[in-house]
Amino acid sequence: MTSWKDKVALTAQRNRQEIVKAKLNRREMMRLGLLTVGGGLVLKHGLSSRAMAALTDPERPKFPPSPPVRPWTQSMPFLTIKQPVEYHSMSGGAPDGTTLIDGATKRIKHQYCSYDPVTGVYGGKFPPRKFYELVAKETQHKFHNDYAPSTVWGFDGLVPGPLFQAKYGEPIMVRFHNHLPSVSIPQNFGIAEITTHLHNAHTPSESDGNPVNYFNSINDPIAINPLGFKDQHYPNVLAGYTARGDLVGDPREALSSLWYHDHHLDFTAQNVYKGMFGCYNLFDDQDTGDETTGLRLPSGNYDVPIFFHDVIFDRDCQPVFDLFNLDGILGDRLCANGAIQPTLKVDKRRYRFRFYNPGPSRWYEFALWDGTSLLPFWQISSDGNLLTQAVQVTSVRLSVAERVDIIVDFSKIRSSRLYIVNRLEQVSGRGPTGRVLNPGIPVVQVNIGSAAKDDSVDPAAAPLLMRKLPDSDFGALLARAAKAKTRTWRFERGNGAWTVNGKLFDEQVVSAAVDQESEEVWVIQNPGGDWRHPVHIHFEEHRTLSRNGVLVKPDIQSNASIDYARKDVVQLNTNEEVRIFMRFRDMKGRYVMHCHNVVHEDHAMMVRWDIV
């Protein structure tokens, strides 16, 4: 029998969804007494499930739980590999060398490629050699066999979106089509305008997915963009090519596991939660995608990207987004590649798993559990950057937007079944509590089959040396950092708002104008409170120097993470200070830094910085 508390929570959930559909703005909600000055929903009966329930049950969730499911009844989907198209047959015509910026109010030329409509030839520093079309659209997605289809938004109608397999030295052009419903159609959450960020490629600013560079749907045609698409140019070039003068760059700067996601100003969390994220992997002459060459990492069917994300569903199996929770959004159903608690059948050989955390707010610590003990495996990357050598570990932690690649050798595991578990306790969007669960919450059931051919390298046979760091002499790096300009960025909460250095994001304000080819030390601080912030800096990788004054050490985990590596996300825990070394090379333009708990980002915890 449904309790009165459940009925209160359900009523509050439905009424809050109606407020979102009505598109009441912040001022109107404050006038109606629905919203506090800080942006939180008032404790009002019929809107907040805590208005009465909190009196007797302070830990009760704001929303009723998702409908029940049976775990391990469906297979985990594999990502669809994106295929290129002929540029002259692209919908809307061949890319003309221009792209949209500033909310589709301006059209500018790409900085590093051009197009001659007479000859049909592409030029510039990095003329595209492959072309792709990706369509953002509404679709029906089944998260579980026990659920009715859910209405989501996805790239090519998929959640996660397709997998791009790209190569360094092979520039590409991607045309993003917006076929989402008209903005005039009420939505439970999300906005039908998009801007796509390729996290964290070395990308020209006009193709970086800046939050203000969103564009309209084809269902809302405008004069400057009647067909509802935007072309983005990805040079797939290594950082440092300007100083080298070769248009190739430093091979030590190579990335491996990237991803793309919507980045619309004020709506990133809603659109990502609704399904707008996908995978982009880069290969070079070391990480080749062929386990018989280069570093001989597991490849093909044995190189498996997995996106972990959490969702809460209403009684109709539709995702619910709590627009009034400014701490962050947590779901109660854990998904892997868009499926709730799926199974994964593997062969008895080595695999490379690429773990992604698209958010919006949950942190994870993944481990392998065979029912008795936690099993060791090899961590080979941090934030998509291969480590200098493989490190044997028993768990890996991912804050929002972080990635980690691991190698698991199933030929050496005696059990026929194990689980990928999340060991990190988190009860609110503020971040993990600090408690590590034993063994944790199972997310994927892995069933081990028969032996298969394996040409990949065995990390246990000898140290698996991979990619050298650009500054292999850490002492010399510290000496360079001591001479560099220092900037301090405080990620904090004040007066009910998320701020950086006490200010809300303003796209017109340049918080740092950085000289091209310069070097700086950025001090990232969380001065207080119970919140944690995964801080992401667009465009360039960084090197972590110290955490709370303690220098980082190579090949050693701290809190199940390796700081001594090239990274693009800073795990900023409570009352912490992290010092990082930054370079600003090759390209000019505007970029952003923000908290990647994207609820915090959408409530203005972001700054603009320009390379000049």
pLDDT (tens digit, 9 = 90+) per residue, 293-306? 999 999 999 999 99
What pLDDT was estimated at residue 49? 37
pLDDT (tens digit, 9 = 90+) per residue, 197-219? 999 899 999 999 999 999 999 99
Q: In angstroms, rounded to a whole number, what is the distance separating the alpha carbons of residues 456 and 564? A: 26
Distant-in-sequence, close-in-space partners of 24: CB < 8 Å, separation ≥ 6: 32, 34
Q: In angstroms, rounded to a whole number, what is the distance separating the alpha carbons of residues 554 and 37? A: 46
Q: Are 489 and 580 in contact (CB under 8 A)?
A: no
What pLDDT was estimated at residue 530? 85
What pLDDT was estimated at residue 287? 98
Domains and CATH numbers, the chain: 4-53 (no CATH), 87-283 (2.60.40.420), 300-451 (2.60.40.420), 474-611 (2.60.40.420)
| Burial (Cβ within 10 Å: 0-12, 13-18, ≥19) of residue 347 | middle
Q: Are 308 and 277 in contact (CB under 8 A)?
A: no
Q: Is 477 helix (H, G, I), strand (E, B) or coil?
A: helix
pTM of the model: 0.92
Among candidates 610, 467, 591, 597, which has minimal Cα distance to 212?
A: 591
What's the 3-state SS for 182-231? CCCCCCCCCCCCECEEEECCCCCHHHCCCCCCCECCCCCCECCECCCEEE
Q: In angstroms, rounded to a whole number, what is the distance separating the alpha carbons of residues 41 and 30? A: 9
Distant-in-sequence, close-in-space partners of 37: CB < 8 Å, separation ≥ 6: 30, 495, 496
Among candidates 239, 240, 224, 204, which has minimal Cα distance to 113?
A: 204
Distant-in-sequence, close-in-space partners of 243: CB < 8 Å, separation ≥ 6: 517, 585
Q: How many CB atoms lie within 10 A of CB 410?
A: 23
Among candidates 406, 402, 386, which has minimal Cα distance to 565?
A: 386
Q: In angstroms, rounded to a whole number, what is the distance separating the alpha carbons of residues 456 and 296? A: 5
- List, run by run, the mean pLDDT of 10-residue segments along the chain (612 residues): 43 57 55 54 45 37 83 98 97 98 98 96 98 98 98 98 98 98 93 96 97 98 98 98 96 97 96 98 98 98 98 96 88 98 98 98 98 97 95 98 98 97 96 95 98 98 96 96 98 87 96 98 92 96 97 94 96 96 97 97 96 98
Q: In angstroms, rounded to a whole number, what is the distance separating the alpha carbons of residues 70 and 63? A: 21
Q: What are phi and psi of 83, to 5 degrees?
A: -110, 145
Distant-in-sequence, close-in-space partners of 241: CB < 8 Å, separation ≥ 6: 247, 248, 249, 250, 585, 586
Question: What token pair was written down for 25?
Answer: 């703005």
What pLDDT was estimated at residue 189? 92
Q: In angstroms, rounded to a whole number, what is the distance separating the alpha carbons of residues 292 and 314? A: 48
Task: Please report where in the chains the tokens 């707008």 appear, as a residue.
Answer: 276
